[in-house]
Amino acid sequence: MKKTIILAIESSCDDTSAAVISDGILLSNTTASQKVHEEFGGVVPELASRAHQLNIIPVIDAALKRAGVTSDQLSAIAFTRGPGLLGSLLVGTSFAKGLALAHNIPLIEVNHLQAHILAHFIQTPDTSSESPSFPFLCLLVSGGNSQIVLVKDHYTMEIIGQTIDDAAGEAFDKCAKIMGLPYPGGPWIDRLAKEGNPDAFTFAKPNIPGYNYSFSGLKTSFLYFLRDQLKENPNFIEEHKADLCASLQKTIIDILILKLKRAAKDLGISQIAVAGGVSANNGLRNALIDLGKRHHWQVFIPPFAFTTDNAAMVAQAGYYRYLKGEFCPIDAAPYAKTKI
Ligand code: KG4
Q: Find the mean pLDDT for residues 18-31.
A: 98
Tens-place pLDDT, residues 43-81 = 899 999 999 999 999 999 999 999 999 999 999 999 999
The pLDDT, as a whole number, for residue 340 is: 84
Distance between Cα 142 and ligand 1 center (Å):
5
- Please check the confidence at residue 150 and state whether its pLDDT lies above 80: yes
Distance between Cα 95 and ligand 1 center (Å):
26
- Provide the whole-model pTM: 0.95
Contact 198, 247 (CB under 8 A): yes
Which residue CA neighbors atom 23 of ligand 1 most closely? 186
Residues 6+ apart with CB under 8 A from 57: none
Cis check for the bond before 135: say yes or no (omega within 30 of 0): yes
Residues 237-247 as b or e (16 or more Cβ within 10 Å = b): beebbbbbbbb
The pLDDT, as a whole number, for residue 144 is: 86
Closest ligand 1 atom, CA of 185?
14
Residues 6+ apart with CB under 8 A from 239: 233
142 lines ligand 1 (CB under 6 A): yes
- Please check the confidence at residue 128 and state whether its pLDDT lies above 80: no
144 lines ligand 1 (CB under 6 A): yes
The pLDDT, as a whole number, for residue 143 is: 87
281 lines ligand 1 (CB under 6 A): yes
Q: Find the mean pLDDT for residues 130-145.
A: 95
Would you give the DSSP letter of residue 219?
H
Tens-place pLDDT, residues 238-274 = 999 999 999 999 999 999 999 999 999 999 999 999 9
84 lines ligand 1 (CB under 6 A): no
109 lines ligand 1 (CB under 6 A): no
The pLDDT, as a whole number, for residue 1 is: 84
Distance between Cα 323 and ligand 1 center (Å):
31
Contact 248, 177 (CB under 8 A): no
Torsion of the alpha carbons at 202, 207, 213 and 215, rounded to the nearest 10: -40
Cis check for the bond before 209: say yes or no (omega within 30 of 0): no
